[in-house]
């Protein structure tokens, strides 16, 4: 966990940055360097990939999940891993559609009495009558 947002909040609250950095054992140089630094190459690449992932997801009308989005990106020549695609989709709030689970609509009562079989007695009488005439 980074402490830089806490130091920034202390600064906006009118407190001393020097004192906050001493308490949290962070150098002031590192705090100010991080504050003014540009995003790193990985963050820049993640932003580019997130845009491409969102485009692929939108083209599929929100149906493609991680495996299909990753496959499309591979076909387009993007060099990225499946787990990276999963992380970026999760961070962007994108999720594929999945089939609905079959809902159980009738729950039988185990204490209910068994219903009488109304078909079998009729057939047994026909079978007996056929057997006696033959």
- Does the reported pTM lie above 0.75? no
Cα–Cα distance measured from residue 43 to residue 37, given in angstroms and rounded to the nearest whole number: 12
Longest dimension (CA), the chain: 111
Per the listing, tokens 């990106």 go with 73
70 vs 9, higher pLDDT: 70
Q: How big is the chain by its Cα radius of gyration, in Å? A: 33
Cα–Cα distance measured from residue 19 to residue 64, given in angstroms and rounded to the nearest whole number: 50
Q: Average the pLDDT over 66-91 and give the result.
A: 93
The three-class DSSP label of residue 38 is: coil
Mean pLDDT of the chain: 82
Cα–Cα distance measured from residue 49 to residue 90, given in angstroms and rounded to the nearest whole number: 13
Cα–Cα distance measured from residue 9 to residue 133, given in angstroms and rounded to the nearest whole number: 101
pLDDT digits (tens, 9 = 90+) for 102-133: 887 788 888 888 887 777 666 555 556 655 66
């Amino acid at each position: 966990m980074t402490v830089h947002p806490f130091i920034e909040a202390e600064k906006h609250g009118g407190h001393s940055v020097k004192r906050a950095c001493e308490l949290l054992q962070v150098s002031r140089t590192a705090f100010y360097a991080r504050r003014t630094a540009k995003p790193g190459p990985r963050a820049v690449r993640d932003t580019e990939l997130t845009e491409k992932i969102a485009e692929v997801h939108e083209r599929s009308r929100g149906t493609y999940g991680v495996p299909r989005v990753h496959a499309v990106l591979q076909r387009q020549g993007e060099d990225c891993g499946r787990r990276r695609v999963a992380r970026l989709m999760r961070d962007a709030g994108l999720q594929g559609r999945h089939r609905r689970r079959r809902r159980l609509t009738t729950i039988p009562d185990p204490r209910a009495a068994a219903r009488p079989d109304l078909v079998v007695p009729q057939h047994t009488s026909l079978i007996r009558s056929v057997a006696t005439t033959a």
